[in-house]
Amino acid sequence: MTVTSNLSLTPSIGRFPTRRGRLLRDRLATIAIVGSFIVVLIPLAAVIGYVLAKGASVVDWQFLTTSPIQNRPDQPDTAEVFGQVLKFGMQPAVIGTLVVTGLATLLAVPVGVFGGIYLNEYGGRGTLATVLRFFTDCMTGVPSVVMGLFVFTVIVLNTQERTGLAGAIALAFLMLPVVIRSTEEMLRLVPNDQREASLALGCRKAGTIMRIVLPAAAPGIVSGALLAVARAAGETAPLLFVIGITYRTNWNPFAGETTTLSVQTYMNAAQPYSTAVDRAWGAALTLIVIAFAATIVARIVTNRIQARAGK
């Protein structure tokens, strides 16, 4: 007993802890550690449970496919048009989310993958690559609302128009550093033998990267990009100032204002009317389904890779 105490593994103050005391402390610590995991399950279960319960009663096919959104929460949630009872829907927001997030993905993923290629294949441990890596990491910490202000000052002030494109650019800037770093990590996992074999056969570096390295890393890159998409789809703050608002479905991100599920959730949640809050729950459920689907697909892809690599 005294031997272990003298090893100062237990920072005992003034007196030697008894064996029972040490075991008790160990037990308490274990309970606290297991407890902390259970503690975090409570908010997760509560949020998902509420969104499912409240949202499921609102979301149906009509909710997803009808427009316009009638943003007059003092009115009942249905209307009779030519004898047909219509429920007001979120179609403009559903389409807006898909268009804006999709365009952001198209912008961010190619640039991000190329940036990741530079960092891992060309930059390596050099000074420039180290500096770029540092600022890429810092860029992941830029608050999304600041990104919204940036896109507002650079694009909206110059074009004098709020469009889906401006929102997509804001989301793309938020996704970019995540895609760059996950691409770099996946490229690093590709064994050097494969690069050397390709170079030895006379393939140039660009060809080696395109034909050998990228295909080998592709599943991991897709998985990282999907996680970035899941995040971006839920972003609200960067979109508030740059995409405007509309009650009509707008498929065109290059002209006219648009709206998204996240913005609709926010605007309806801030209203004191219960019909508005119901709409917010419906939009939140739709949003969470999109985000979780992307995450789960990404997770499955990652698990496949890990299984293939033999842990």
Partner 1 sequence: MTTDAISTPTNQAPLSPEGRPPGRVFDQLFRIATFAAAIVVLVVMAGILLTTFNEARPWFQERGLASIFGTQWVPISDNAGNVVDPGLGAGALIWGTLYTSAIALVLAVPVSIGIALFVTEIAPGWLRRPVVFVIDLLAVVPSVVFGLFGVAVLVSPLGNDIYGPISDALAAIPLLGALFHGSSGRSYMTAGLVLAVMITPIITSITREVFATTPSALKEAALALGATRWEMIRGAVFPHARGGVVAAVMIGLGRAMGETIAVVLLVGGAANLGVGLFESGETMAAAIARSFNESTGVQRSALIGLGVVLFVMTLLINMGARWASGRSERRLRAGR
Residues 253-292 that bind partner 1 (CB under 8 A): 262, 265-266, 269-270, 277, 280-281, 284, 287-288, 291-292
- Cβ proximity to partner 1: between 26 and 60 the closer is 26
Cβ neighbourhood burial of 182 (10 Å; 0-12, 13-18, 19+): buried
* Single-letter amino acid, residue 278: D
Q: By CB under 8 A, tell whether 176 contacts partner 1.
A: yes
Residues 95-114 that bind partner 1 (CB under 8 A): 110-114
* Contact map string, positions 224 to 253, toward partner 1, x by CB under 8 A: ---xx-xx-xxxxx--xx------------
How many residues bind to partner 1 according to rule CB under 8 A?
113
Q: Which of 79, 106, 189, 206 binds partner 1 (CB under 8 A)?
A: 206
What is the full DSSP assignment across 41-106? HHHHHHHHHHHHHHHHTT-SHHHHH-------TTS-SEEEETTEEEE---HHHHHHHHHHHHHHHH
Q: Which of 79, 197, 204, 304 binds partner 1 (CB under 8 A)?
A: 204
Q: How far is the CB of 181 from partner 1 (least distance, A)?
A: 3
Q: How far is the CB of 134 from partner 1 (least distance, A)?
A: 6
- Contact window for partner 1 (CB under 8 A) among 71-79, 86-94, 137-145, 246-254: 137-145
Q: What whole-number distance in Å separates Cα of residue 243 and Cα of residue 236?
A: 11
The alpha carbon of 106 is separated from its chain's Cα centroid by a whole number of angstroms, namely 15
DSSP-based three-state secondary structure for 10: coil
State both tokens at 193: 């033998």
Determine phi and psi for 80, rounding to 5 degrees: -100, 120
Helix (DSSP H) and strand (DSSP E) numbers for the chain:
14, 2
Q: By CB under 8 A, tell whether 216 contacts partner 1.
A: no
Q: Which of 134, 189, 197, 252 binds partner 1 (CB under 8 A)?
A: 134
Q: By CB under 8 A, tell whether 130 contacts partner 1.
A: no
* Single-letter amino acid, residue 233: A
Q: By CB under 8 A, tell whether 192 contacts partner 1.
A: no
Q: By CB under 8 A, tell whether 23 contacts partner 1.
A: yes
- Contact window for partner 1 (CB under 8 A) among 56-64, 79-87, 119-127, 213-221: 119-127
- Cβ proximity to partner 1: between 99 and 242 the closer is 242
Q: What whole-number distance in Å separates Cα of residue 107 and Cα of residue 256?
A: 20
Q: By CB under 8 A, tell whether 222 contacts partner 1.
A: no
Q: Are 285 and 55 in contact (CB under 8 A)?
A: yes
